[in-house]
Structure 1
Amino acid sequence: MLPDRFTANRPSFFINTAFLLGVMVLYPVAGALLFSLSGGSAEMVLVGGGIGAMLPKLRFVQVLGQLLVLALPVLVLAAVHVRRRLFSPESFRFLGLGGGVDSRLAWFGVAGVFLLQPLLYTVAGLQNLFLWPALGEAGAEVVRQRAVMEGFISELAGAGSLSEFFVVVGVLALVPAVSEELLFRGYVQGNYAASMRPLYAVLLTGTMFAFFHMSAANLVPLALLGYYIGYIYSRSGNLAVPMSVHFVNNLSALLLLALGGGSEAAGPEPELLLGMAWWWAAVPLSLLLFVFVMRRFSSIASAS
């Protein structure tokens, strides 16, 4: 990653952390408020179903919450830190945007996230087989909450036409990729990297990224994904690269959901894959290819 020309402008570790924690607390509160104002209720999520007529409003609420609570504060703070107007080139550079980027970095970054999927599925499968049953009632509650949230997301992602599917892609893939990367990698990780070693900044930001999604069942896979995205940002120095990877990761999940007919259980369950002999050959092979891709990614990043 190129030397940070904005080190003197960046907030301290404690201010940066306080801001992130504030956003993480405010985001679900703002989402619940916007959801309520749109005519929704918690029962719709907990019971499931009955939100079909409200889908346009719910999608609008999702986009509005991401833009107002995640993206806009970051853009405003970046402008304040560099003492420039909002949306100035200097404030975008503060967040890691602007300037040229080698397209190969995005391609290898995307390849890496696909090669990482077998490991993430394996972790999820091991949790389903061993961790949640071992936790008894607490584990059963984690599984129940995951099923409720997956059902809600499945309804939110439902599309009856190609044009509606593009709307869903914008709501659940593009806007989150841009907004969350502006917050976590562009602002938070960039600021942490000015006050600690880059590795620690990647690990801390990736962990907070996982907690932000409020899914105990997916905490470890999300943390691993966060570490990966943080690494490629640290090496590339351009936020367009992790944004691209994040978007493709979300898009692939939506495509799997669409191919599965809208069922939240699109594709085989992770624990079923663990019982297949070929899977245990596919996982190390994918990791070996992942290492090769990352070595290539790093060499391109170093030369850029």
Structure 2
Amino acid sequence: MNLHVAQERNPWSDLVVLFAWTLGCTILVQLLLMLGGAMLNQDLLALTQPSVGKKPVGVFSYLVLGGSSVGTFLIPALIYQRARAATDIFPAQNWRDWKTYVFGIVFLVAFSPCMSIISDWNMQMTFPEGMRGVENWMREQEDMMAHLTAQTVMVNDVGRLLANVLVIGILPAVSEEFFFRGALQQIFARVLKHEQFSIWIVAIIFSAIHFQFYGFFPRMLLGVFFGYLVVWTGNIWTAVFAHFVNNTSVTILAFYYASENKTYDELVKSDSYSIIVYLGSLFISVAVAYLFFRYTAKKKIYGEQLG
């Protein structure tokens, strides 16, 4: 990223501006959705909680999901980029280099067994007795989100599958990466004066903002991975593509499970592997990450020669 011009401004003021636009756009979009829902005689509770039952979500719920991604993340990021036109917030160096996209997907596949065991550990997280109320609230939030996700992704017709690819795959991938790995990561790199630290801080925020506490650590690690993709390649589209593939693969797998009359619980059930598989996954993932880093350094995609 080009931080030369950005360094001349106070990064804290930029952070306040970005969050101000985020708050304003979020409120505006939610009000528009509520107004549209009222005009269409829709249940406005669909904005805040899933409906009872197993039926798939309706068109209005898809509008809510898509509008939330665009209004909360994409529009504020685009406004921020327009206001800071001299700063390259959405870098796209050598964006046609297909090998960088392949590296990202290979890493996701290689790391999936490790991600599975981390997810299992996170799901079994417990709190001390004094924090039992907090734990119960977190469990309720997790169950509500799981119910909404199940209603959304467990479909067996192509039309709804394509809608899921749009609102779960494409829109969140572009919107969240532009906001988190584009605008926010660039700001925190200036605040902390260290890009590596900014990757982790933004990944923590990225995971926390989803309010799915029993998936916090896997999502945080995904955020770290997306952050390094942008830093190493100097191309935000590598992170967008990896994010898209990660989300879309879930929607396609859910479509297959629903078509086979399988349940959402069967979909999210983690496979158990031997210790050899987990160690192999970790070793291959580290090797892929190292080769990826060396490739981007050799190609000078990020600018100067690294390492």
Q: What interval of TM-score do these two structures reach, taking the shorter chain for normalisation?
A: 0.7 to 0.9
Q: Deviations over 1:46-80 (max 9, x none)?
A: 5633874x611111222223223321222222122
Q: For residue 110 of structure 1, what is the aligned residue in structure 2?
A: 105
CA contact (8 A) 2:90 2:183 kept: yes
**Is structure 2 residue 16 aligned with structure 1 residue 14?**
no
Find out whether 1:178 has 2:174 as its counterpart: yes
Counterpart CA distance in 2 for 1:120 and 1:25 is 32
Residue 157 of structure 1 corresponds to: 153
Q: Extract unaligned runs of 5+ from structure 1.
A: 84-90
Judged with a 3 Å threshold, the aligned counterparts in structure 2 of structure 1 residues 138 and 264 are, in CA distance, closer, same or farther, namely farther
Change (3 A) 1:97 1:259: same
Q: Which residue among 287, 293, 297 is the counterpart of 2:292?
A: 297
Q: Distance in 1 between matches of 2:52 and 2:182?
A: 35
Alignment of structure 1 residues 1-304 onto 2, 5 Å: 4-9=1-6, 12-19=10-17, 21-22=19-20, 33-34=31-32, 36-37=34-35, 38=37, 39-42=42-45, 45=49, 48-49=52-53, 52=56, 55-82=58-85, 93-97=88-92, 99-131=94-126, 136-195=132-191, 196-261=193-258, 263-267=263-267, 269-270=269-270, 273=271, 276=272, 278-304=273-299
- Residues 1:121 and 1:141: Cα distance change in structure 2 (over 3 Å): farther
Kindly indicate whether the alpha-carbon contact (under 8 Å) linking 1:132 and 1:140 is maintained by their aligned counterparts in 2. Answer: no
2: CA distance between counterparts of 1:48 and 1:23?
Answer: 34
How large is the RMSD of aligned CA atoms in angstroms?
2.8
Amino acid at match of 1:172: I
Distance 1:204-1:26 versus aligned 2 partners, 3 A rule: farther
Separation in 2, partners of 1:26, 1:124: 34
The sequence identity of aligned pairs, in percent, is 17
Cα–Cα, structure 1 residues 255 and 294, in superposed 2: closer, same or farther, change >3 Å?
same
Distance in 2 between the 1:251 and 1:60 partners? 18
Aligned length: 287
Distance 1:281 1:26 in 2: 50
Alpha-carbon deviations, 1:215-252, whole Å to 9, x = none?
Answer: 22222221111111111111111011000100011012
Stretch of structure 1 that moved more, 240-249 or 189-198: 189-198
TM-score w.r.t. the length of structure 1 is 0.82
Once residues 76 and 28 of structure 1 are traced to their aligned partners in structure 2, the CA distance between those partners, rounded to angstroms, is 13
Which region of structure 1 is more displaced relative to structure 2, 25-34 or 176-185? 25-34
1: CA distance, partners of 2:124 / 2:84 = 48
- Verify the 8 A CA contact 1:34 1:61 in the aligned structure 2: no
Q: Which 5+ residue runs of structure 2 have no aligned equivalent?
A: 300-307
Q: Return closer, same or farther for 1:116/1:132 CA change in 2, 3 Å cut-off.
A: farther
Asked if the contact 1:173/1:247 (under 8 Å) is kept, the reply is: yes
Task: Look up the match of 2:304.
Answer: none
Instruction: Give the TM-score taking structure 2 as reference length.
Output: 0.81
Contact 1:35 1:58 in 2 (8 A): no
Does the CA contact (< 8 Å) of 1:189 and 1:205 recur in 2?
yes
Tell me the SS of whatever aligns to 2:84.
helix
State whether residues 111 and 281 of structure 2, in contact with CA within 8 Å, keep that contact through their aligned partners in structure 1.
yes
More moved, 6-15 vs 149-158 = 6-15
State the shift of 1:279 in Å. 3.6
Structure 1 residues 146-173: Cα deviation after superposition (integer angstroms, max 9, x where no partner):
1211111221234342233112101111
User: Per the alignment, do residues 154 and 202 of structure 1 end up closer, same or farther by CA in structure 2, a change over 3 Å counting?
Assistant: same
Mapped partners of 1:24, 1:206: distance in 2: 18
Per-residue deviation, 1:126: 1.8
